Amino acid sequence: MSGVTIQGNILTPAGWLGGAISFGERIAGIDGAAVDPRQNGDDYVIPGFIDLHVHGGAGKDVMEGGDAIHTIARIHAQHGTTSLLATTMTAPPEDIDIALTAIGKAVRQRGKNEARVLGAHLEGPYINSGKLGAQPNFARAATLAEVQRLEAMAPLRVITVAPEIAGHLGLVRELANEGMRVQIGHTLGSYEDGVAALEHGAAGFTHLFNAMSGLHHREPGMVGAALAHAEYAELIPDLLHVHPGAIKTALRAIPRLYCVTDSTAATGMPDGEYMLGRHVVHKCMGGVRLPDGTLAGSTLTLDQALRNLVGLGLDLADASARVSTNAADYLGLQERGRLAPGAYADLVVLDRDLKLKAVYIEGERCDLNDA
């Protein structure tokens, strides 16, 4: 691949530099001087976005299997996401097998204009049937043998578990020892259950505040466990799933909070009916809901998430970390989520209004108009 050089305000691990970044598949070098990007009218060059919770987009759902994941990876790339985790739904075993088989193939081969699929986020079926949210009711207890069988189909980088289910606390430690990031989610567990899960190796929380026991001053619940003890948690900043005040609370409490879209097939599509696993969902008025009104994922993209965070008062460097670097660090990916020599050339170029001008994935420029 021939080299590319871009000029602008470049966000590096050491701060903003005004200058040039050169790259092929990986970043070759960054030359420039320290700059205040607020005073320099050039474009912003920041790390590509990393989304660890993606169900769908462009009319396609991860649970369809087949080529659906490629369509999903393309639509998210057009919004600056350079790598992602394809996320499953709670479903019968045969449905999960179909999805993971397709995810495994996508991990091995990235298509043109597609975000890199890093693996799977298994969001269920190991959740509490009393806190399904928009998940179909196929919840069940987990066994290590079953998870290992699924891991053979596709890398399970993140797995959501309700720790209060009998047998799950010990399993959390076993899965963590196998290198998986175990998240607490879709849970009726107490504060004490959350603390115990963290002590057993749980690393984060799935869509913080949503589908978990809430905070009360005498019963802190799972939200209280996260706010008091978590280093990492994911959160959906579409300003619909979580009130801005609650987002600000989480930002103050959880050092490495990162943002996800929890996006569905309705992302990038007009209002209407779409599938979310085995559920029919409805997109209208900017949200996605089940027929009873329950929120069912989102239509958020991470470029909009970034703008929402800046709108809440975060500076651009902090907002960038929340949609990229923190997620990379959570998965232990030192070659992504940062602009530094030797890292993959995953980057986005933004204008002064934080609108996308260009996206590069492993050094290749993405066609932002690719259908």
Give residue 295's pLDDT.
85
Query: Please, which pLDDT band fits residue 285 given cuts at 50, 70 and 90?
Result: confident
What is the mean pLDDT of the segment spanning 156-181?
96
pLDDT value of residue 275? 85
Residue range 17-24: mean pLDDT, rounded:
98
The answer to whether the Cα torsion of 98, 103, 104, 108 is positive or negative is positive
Residue 371 confidence class, pLDDT cut points 50, 70, 90: low
C-alpha torsion angle, residues 212, 215, 216, 217 (rounded to 10): 150
Q: Determine the average pLDDT of the residues in 143-162.
A: 97
| pLDDT for the residue 360 | 98
Q: What percent of the chain has pLDDT over 90?
A: 89
What residue type is assigned to position 36 of the chain?
A: D
| CATH code of 224's domain | 3.20.20.140
Strand partners, 365: 360
Look at residue 350 and tell me if it is in a domain. Answer: no
Question: Does residue 41 lie within any of the structural domains?
Answer: no
Question: Residue 355: inside a domain, yes or no?
Answer: no
AA identity, residue 364:
E
Tokens of 146: 């079953």
The closest alpha carbon to 189, from 240, 239, 130, 107, belongs to: 130
**CA–CA dist 123, 316 (Å, integer):** 30
Q: Which residues pair with 117 in a beta bridge?
A: 84
Q: Is residue 343 part of a domain?
A: no
pTM of the model: 0.97
- The angle at the Cα of 45, spanning 44 to 48, to the nearest 5 degrees, equals 125
347-367 pLDDT, tens per residue?
999 999 999 999 999 999 999
Residue 36 covered by a domain: no
Secondary structure letter of residue 325 according to DSSP: I
Reply yes or no on whether the pLDDT at 290 is more than 70: yes
Query: Which domain, by its residues, includes 172?
Result: 48-337
Q: What is the pLDDT averaged over residues 292-298?
A: 86
* Between 297 and 112, the higher pLDDT residue: 112
Coil, helix or strand at residue 85: strand
Rounded Cα–Cα distance for residues 112 and 232 (Å):
32
Count of domains observed in the chain:
1
Q: What is the pLDDT averaged over residues 223-249?
A: 97
Query: Position 51: which residue type?
Result: D
Taking the C-alpha atoms of residue 7 and residue 20, their distance in angstroms, rounded to an integer, is 4
Q: Is residue 63 part of a domain?
A: yes
pLDDT for residue 128: 97
* Residue 51 scores a pLDDT above 70: yes
Q: Which residues are marked as active site? A: 262
Instruction: Flag whether 284 is in a domain.
Output: yes
Weakest mean pLDDT among 26-40, 102-116, 261-275: 261-275
pLDDT at 1: 47
Q: Are 30 and 343 in contact (CB under 8 A)?
A: no
The 10s digit of each residue's pLDDT in 71-126 is 999 999 999 999 999 999 999 999 999 999 999 999 999 999 999 999 999 998 99
* 21 domain residue, yes or no: no
Reported as a single tens digit per residue, the pLDDT across 317-352 is: 999 999 999 999 999 999 999 999 999 999 999 999
With cut-offs at 50, 70 and 90, classify the pLDDT of residue 2. low
The β-bridge partners of 364 are 361
Cα–Cα distance between 210 and 230 in angstroms, integer?
16
